[in-house]
Amino acid sequence: MSDYRGYSGKSLEYLKNNNINIGESVKIFADITYSGIIMPRYEHSDDKHLVLKLKSGYNIGLGLEKIKKIEKENSDKKKIEHKVEYKKKISLPKILLLSTGGTIASKVDYRTGAVTPILTAEELNSSVPELAEIANIDAEVLFSEYSENIMPEHWLKIANKLNEYCKSNYSGIIIAHGTDTMHYTSSFLSFALSGYPIPIALVGSQRSSDRASSDAALNLIGATRFLLGCKTNGVYVVMHQDKNDETVACHFGTRVRKNHTSKRGAFQTIGDVPAFIVINDEIKRNNLKNFFKKKEYEAKINLKTNVALVKYHPGYDPNLLEKILEMNYQAIIFEGTGLGHIGKAMYEKVKKAGKRGIFLGMTSQCVEGRVRMTVYESGRDLLNLGITPLEDMIPEVALVKAMWALGNSNSVDEVKKIMLENIASEISN
C-alpha cells in the first residue's frame, strides 16, 4: 500500500519534500498551530490540501497555501493497543452479534484512520465495555459492506445464518448494518423468518465511532437491553429516538424508514409510533396495536429480484414501462400519487402488463395514509386494469415483499394473496 494513498500533484510533492507519510503525527503551523495525524485522501480529491485528524477525532482539510511549516511530532513513538481481558459471567444471558458492515460494530485505528470490523467478543467489549455488565456477547462477521452495496444475495446469507441459530440458547440476535438500506434488509428478514422464536434487532450508527457525537455505543447498548427485556419476537430496527442521548427507539422492521440523511434520530416508524422505547434501563412497550401475531416459525428463505419499483411523476414516459416488460419482470410496484393514482398515459402499458400475468401493486408517495383507489374515477379505472392496492405498505417494503412473494409462489394469484396478507405488521391495523 502506498505511503501517500490518495495524494497527487502538489500535495504529494509537499509531503515527499518534507519526508512526511500517511499515519505520522505532525505539527502544522498555519493561522494557528494544529497537531494531529496525516490521513489518506479520496482518489479524486484536488491536490491542494492535506487532511489532518485532530486529537478530538475530527478530520480537517488544510490548504497548502496557508501552511507555513510542517514538522513531525513524536514520530518515533508507536501507540500500543492494550488488550482488555474479557471474562464471561456465567450468570448473564447470551446475545449473538452478526456484523455485516457499517460503523456500529467497528473499531478505528487512530494512527491511520482506518475503520475495521470487530472480530472478537474481546474487541467488542473493549469498544463498549458496558455490554459486559449486561450480557455475554458472541461476535461473528458475515461480511463487511457499505450499506449501498448490500444486495438481495446478502439478505439470503443473513437469513440462512439466522436460521442456523433458530434453536440456539441466545436470548436475541443483533445484526450490525449500515443505515442507508437497513430497512430493506429488515423487511426481507421479517418475511423470510416470520415467527422466528427470539427477537432480532438491526442496529446501525449515524455518526462514526471516532466522533464525539457518535450514537454507536448507545444504540448497541439499547438494542442489547431491548432484546433481553422485550419478551416478544420479530425483527426490529433499533436506533436513536432523537438528538438526546437517553432514548432508543425500536421500530417494526417493516414499518420504518430512514427519513434524514445524517441526524441521529433519522429512523421513524411510518404512520404510527415505535413498537418499543428504551430509556436507560427501562423498556416501554409503546405500540399496542400492531404487534406480530404469534405463529409457528417456518423459514421461507427464497426470493426473485425481477421486481420493479416505479415512481410515477408528471411526464413519466410510458415507454419506460414497456422496457420493464421487455426485461421479463414479474412484478411492478407503483409508487403513485395521493390515494394511489398514475396518469392515463400509462393505462395502455398497465393493461398490457396485466395481460402478461405480471403482478401490479399500488402504494403511495404520501408518507402517511392509505391507498384508496375507489374514491376517484381514475383509481377505479386502475383497479379494472388489474392493479392491487396495498393499503399503507411502504413502497420499499412492498418491493421487498414482492421479491419474497415471487420466490415463494407459483402464480400471480398466489403472489397477490401473499401481498395482501399481513405477515409482519407491514400493513398497519
Domain of 281, CATH number, reads 3.40.50.1170
297 domain residue, yes or no: no
**E-strand stretches of 122-218:** 136-141, 172-176, 200-203
Instruction: Decide if 251 contacts 286 (C-beta within 8 A).
Output: no
Whether 104 and 245 map to the same domain: the answer is yes
What is the reported pLDDT for 110?
Answer: 45
Residues 185-207 have pLDDT tens digits of 999 999 999 999 999 999 988 76
Residues 341-356 have pLDDT tens digits of 999 999 999 999 999 9
Whether 61 and 112 map to the same domain: the answer is no
| Catalytic residue, candidates 107, 258, 349, 416 | 258
Q: How deeply is 325 buried, as exposed, middle or buried, from its count of CB atoms within 10 A (0-12, 13-18, 19+)?
A: middle
17 domain residue, yes or no: yes
319 domain residue, yes or no: yes
Domain span at residue 63?
Answer: 9-72
Q: Per mean pLDDT, which range of 41-50, 186-195, 198-207, 382-391 is the poorest?
A: 41-50
DSSP string, 310-321: EE--TT--HHHH
Whether 346 and 243 map to the same domain: the answer is no
Task: Give the CATH number for residue 17.
Answer: 2.30.30.520
Whether 41 and 149 map to the same domain: the answer is no
Whether 100 and 44 map to the same domain: the answer is no
Average pLDDT over residues 406-427: 96
Instruction: Count the domains in the chain.
Output: 3
Residue 258 appears among annotated catalytic residues: yes
Whether 17 and 111 map to the same domain: the answer is no
Higher pLDDT, 46 or 290: 46
Higher pLDDT, 289 or 385: 385
| Distance of alpha carbon 308 from alpha carbon 322, whole angstroms | 12
Whether 335 and 399 map to the same domain: the answer is yes
Residue 179 appears among annotated catalytic residues: yes
Whether 268 and 359 map to the same domain: the answer is no
Q: What's the pLDDT band for 288 if we cut at 50, 70, 90?
A: confident
Average pLDDT over residues 385-392: 97
38 domain residue, yes or no: yes
Residue 224 appears among annotated catalytic residues: no
Whether 50 and 100 map to the same domain: the answer is no
Task: Give the CATH number for residue 387.
Answer: 3.40.50.40
79 domain residue, yes or no: no
CA 166-418-398 angle, to 5 degrees, is: 90
| Distance of alpha carbon 181 from alpha carbon 202, whole angstroms | 11
Q: Can you read off the three cell numbers belonging to residue 370? A: 392509505
358 domain residue, yes or no: yes
Q: Is 60 exceeded by the pLDDT of residue 75?
A: no
What is the reported pLDDT for 287?
Answer: 82
Q: Classify each residue of 356-365 as buried b or exposed e, where b means 16 or more C-beta atoms within 10 Å of its C-beta.
A: eebbbbbbbe
What is the reported pLDDT for 417?
Answer: 98
Whether 262 and 131 map to the same domain: the answer is yes
Q: Is 60 exceeded by the pLDDT of residue 18?
A: yes
Q: Looking at residue 383, what DSSP letter applies? A: H
Residues 116-175 have pLDDT tens digits of 666 566 666 666 788 889 999 998 889 888 889 999 999 999 999 999 999 999 999 999
Place of cell 442489547: 224
| Catalytic residue, candidates 53, 100, 107, 179 | 179
Calculate the CA 401 to chain-centre distance: 17
| Distance of alpha carbon 134 from alpha carbon 93, whole angstroms | 8
Whether 48 and 104 map to the same domain: the answer is no
Q: Per mean pLDDT, which range of 189-193, 238-242, 421-425 is the poorest?
A: 238-242
| Catalytic residue, candidates 27, 180, 304, 305 | 180
143 domain residue, yes or no: yes
87 domain residue, yes or no: no
Residue 295 appears among annotated catalytic residues: no
Q: How many other CB atoms are there within 10 angstroms of residue 43's CB atom?
A: 9
Whether 103 and 66 map to the same domain: the answer is no
Average pLDDT over residues 69-83: 62
